[in-house]
Structure 1
Amino acid sequence: MEFPSFDIILLLASLLFLFFAAANRFTISKPSILTNLPAGPATLPFLGNVHNLIFSSSDLHRALHRLSLKHGPLFPLKLGQISIVIVSSPELAKEILKDHDITFAQRAPLLFPGLIFYDCSDVLFAPYGDYWRQVRKICQTALLGPNRVKSFASIRSQEVANLIESIRSDSRQVNLTRLIFQMSCGVTSRAAFGKKYKDEEILMSLTTDIMKMASGLGLADLFPSHGEMFKAMTRMFGTKLNGVIRGADRVLEDVLDDHRKKRSSGLLDDGTREDLVDVLLKLQQSGELEVPLSDSNIKAVLLVRNFIYHSSKSKTPIRVLLFRIY
């Protein structure tokens, strides 16, 4: 997870100080729900504990670990206007995530996932409820069940073989991280679309940008009482964000159009293997779903489950394995 840069924080503190001060005078304070927790780190006005994280020289999880050594396995943090609880004990984490999973299943709506993933209609950020349970079931059974994953074994083998051959045949220094990422995008696009996307560079660039943006917190997330203002500013001035959103939507729209043409022409009747888009379109048209799937829902599922998740998950273990081999 990434936080706003130091320049943005300074800009926020300097330009909006008076605005927040005036607004807070007319805000009715609510009793804190965190009063029974141990004391956490000291907070700054308006920013809370953001400085404890963005000024850390290490990764976020290491910064939180250092705070837990001082404040214990359970302590509160204040990020702007929102209050969160840090749990660093395995026993407490198990109790929260397993024993009381329904109580903690809901997550707060976030700015960037909402903009990128079609109002959070993906399996990661969708609010807990009938739709989320349905999409989760589709991902677990129809999309990524054991038989479905096994059917893509030949794709994985071919792409890994291409990766190894690319490394072996190139006598120059190679960017292993990029090659592995390229291989992973090839696997996921062939599994999801039935073939590699026509412009692989665009696909890789979009995937990288979306992973960075979706993992960050926006000012609307830190200051929800002024969220609509920050959302409007993001849409108005977020040139790169808007470009990434439009680019990803064009890619997914092209894929859906191609698959609908293939289905209408009867090409699937000749024994062609169904890919993940075919499965989702078939479910959409079946009329058997409790919550109907829109095209935006399908795009969100494909975007998260078959690109962001797999492309980011596979790079590190494959890189370590190749280092050991060579």
Structure 2
Amino acid sequence: MASLQWLLQLSSSPFLLFASTLLLLKLLFNQNSTKTKPNLPPCPPKLPIIGNLHQLGTMPHLSLRRLSNKFGPVIYLQLGQIPTVVVSSAKLAKQVMKTHDLALSNRPPIFSAKLLFYDCTDIAFAPYGAYWRHVRKLCILELLSAKRVQSFSFVREEEVARLVRRVSESSYPATVNLSKLLGFYANDNLCRVALGRGFSHGRDYDRHGFQKMLEEYQELLGGFSIGDFFPSMEFIHCLTGLKSKLQSTFQRFDRFFDEVIAEHLDPDRHKEEHSKDLLDVLLDIQKSESNEINLTMDNVKAIMLDMFAAGTDTTFITLDWAMTELIMNPKVLEKAQAEIRKVVGDRRVVLETDLPHHESCHQRDLAITSSGTGLTP
């Protein structure tokens, strides 16, 4: 009876009815929030809309290091609309990259990759599944096997000799821009291995302006894209001009690959006597009917583009830092020079197998200064 009287009083007072409704909704919301709230790692204070984007700064790897020192080895960041977990411990990174790799194997399809890599049908950005497993197996067994890498040793030897000549020709009287020459070496080496020809500036097949095209492609791939952090605002790239730049670069690369593929399919084409290049290998696989998944020409182009994304800057940066570390550590430089003189003697040609200390220098370089500032699963 008392409950009925309370309900009648409540219904006769609009203010009490409104306040009771708000209280009931708040209780229901808190109850649902308690049930569904995920158990997230520690998160630094964030701002509305942009979340933690402002805390990355111009040197994200250093900013993430400072945040991990304060909040722990695993932190949660809200990068715009994208929830992100950052792992800054080697032990936990092993859990992410190796122990639980299947659960974390997919990469988000970033805006530039969708346009440049034929809708993410390459190796780096393809979603985990039958196609990705197939092209990864092809890459390990056919493109990057020890036998295949060894078959291109003559290319590395010739390009190193070309690099030495360039340094010698540039050394007097002007200062040598070694970083630029190392970049030419990395690109020439990769172009000959992947496509069978040298395409860098000044070579006989540079009518496409390949060097400039590659620089634009790398800049676009590594640049900031607001749609990667705010997917609902991806349309803004049509206004900023980013989409048209990506489409223009993609079309130039597509025409370039069409021409190179047509040249490789020409039965009268002169092949180097040493070995097939990587495009030859992929085209043989593409024509084979025994594959579990048939590759299209777009798939072949996407995989070849991956080779340039992964094989140019990484090689150049590693070599650049190796030279820097040797200059900054004179004793290590003297040891490397002494071994070269001891092993080579009167010979003018240095073989890769001649220099065990060179390998230790390379490992030291990778330990101190890696070619990338972070890893993505």
TM-score range, shorter chain: 0.7 to 0.9
Bigger radius of gyration among the two: 2
Extract unaligned runs of 5+ from structure 2: 1-31, 200-204, 327-332, 338-377
1:215 lines up with 2:222 in the alignment: yes
TM-score after normalising by structure 2: 0.71
Greater mean deviation of Cα atoms: 169-178 or 315-324: 315-324
- Which one-letter code corresponds to 2:220 in the other structure? M
Distance in 1 (alpha carbons) for counterparts of 2:37 and 2:146: 43
CA displacement, residues 139-193 of structure 1 (integer Å, 9 cap, x when unaligned): 1111111010001001001101111111112211122111111111111111111
CA displacement at 1:35 relative to structure 2? 2.8
TM-score after normalising by structure 1: 0.81
1:189 lines up with 2:191 in the alignment: yes
Indicate which of 174, 177, 199 corresponds to 1:175: 177
Counterpart of 1:35 in structure 2 is 38
CA displacement at 1:238 relative to structure 2? 3.7
Distance in 2 (alpha carbons) for counterparts of 1:201 and 1:279: 24
Distance in 1 (alpha carbons) for counterparts of 2:109 and 2:37: 20
- Which one-letter code corresponds to 2:318 in the other structure? P
Question: Contact 1:37–1:74 at 8 Å: present in 2 too?
Answer: no
Structure 1's 266 and 245: CA in aligned 2 closer, same or farther, altered over 3 A? closer
CA displacement at 1:199 relative to structure 2? 0.7
Note the 1:68-147 alignment, pairs <5 A: 68-147=68-147
Indicate which of 43, 47, 65 corresponds to 1:44: 47
Counterpart of 1:296 in structure 2 is 298
1:309 lines up with 2:310 in the alignment: yes
- Which one-letter code corresponds to 2:43 in the other structure? G
Report the 3-state secondary structure (helix = DSSP H, G, I; strand = E; otherwise coil) of the residue aligned with 1:199.
Answer: coil
CA displacement, residues 43-92 of structure 1 (integer Å, 9 cap, x when unaligned): 11111111111xx25x2211110111111111110111110111111111
Structure 1's 233 and 288: CA in aligned 2 closer, same or farther, altered over 3 A? farther
1:251 lines up with 2:252 in the alignment: no
Report the 3-state secondary structure (helix = DSSP H, G, I; strand = E; otherwise coil) of the residue aligned with 1:150.
Answer: helix
- Which one-letter code corresponds to 2:111 in the other structure? L
Distance in 2 (alpha carbons) for counterparts of 1:41 and 1:186: 45
CA displacement at 1:265 relative to structure 2? 3.6
CA displacement at 1:267 relative to structure 2? 5.4
Extract unaligned runs of 5+ from structure 1: 1-29
Distance in 2 (alpha carbons) for counterparts of 1:33 and 1:285: 51
1:242 lines up with 2:247 in the alignment: yes
Distance in 1 (alpha carbons) for counterparts of 2:309 and 2:121: 15
CA displacement at 1:124 relative to structure 2? 0.6
- Which one-letter code corresponds to 2:252 in the other structure? G
Indicate which of 224, 229, 241 corresponds to 2:231: 224
* Cα RMSD for the two superposed structures: 2.5
CA displacement at 1:215 relative to structure 2? 2.4
Report the 3-state secondary structure (helix = DSSP H, G, I; strand = E; otherwise coil) of the residue aligned with 2:312.
Answer: helix
- Aligned residue pair count: 288
- Which one-letter code corresponds to 1:96 in the other structure? V
Q: Matched residues, percent identical?
A: 34
Structure 1's 189 and 99: CA in aligned 2 closer, same or farther, altered over 3 A? same
Distance in 2 (alpha carbons) for counterparts of 1:185 and 1:200: 16
1:280 lines up with 2:282 in the alignment: yes
Distance in 1 (alpha carbons) for counterparts of 2:81 and 2:99: 29
CA displacement at 1:201 relative to structure 2? 7.9
Report the 3-state secondary structure (helix = DSSP H, G, I; strand = E; otherwise coil) of the residue aligned with 2:83.
Answer: strand
CA displacement at 1:137 relative to structure 2? 1.0
CA displacement at 1:222 relative to structure 2? 1.1
Question: Contact 2:263–2:269 at 8 Å: present in 1 too?
Answer: no
- Which one-letter code corresponds to 1:308 in the other structure? A
Distance in 1 (alpha carbons) for counterparts of 2:237 and 2:115: 9
Question: Contact 1:111–1:231 at 8 Å: present in 2 too?
Answer: no
CA displacement at 1:128 relative to structure 2? 0.5
CA displacement at 1:206 relative to structure 2? 2.1
CA displacement, residues 105-139 of structure 1 (integer Å, 9 cap, x when unaligned): 01221101111111111111111011111111111
Counterpart of 1:318 in structure 2 is 319
Question: Contact 2:151–2:274 at 8 Å: present in 1 too?
Answer: no
Distance in 2 (alpha carbons) for counterparts of 1:174 and 1:289: 49
Report the 3-state secondary structure (helix = DSSP H, G, I; strand = E; otherwise coil) of the residue aligned with 2:209.
Answer: helix
- Which one-letter code corresponds to 1:195 in the other structure? R
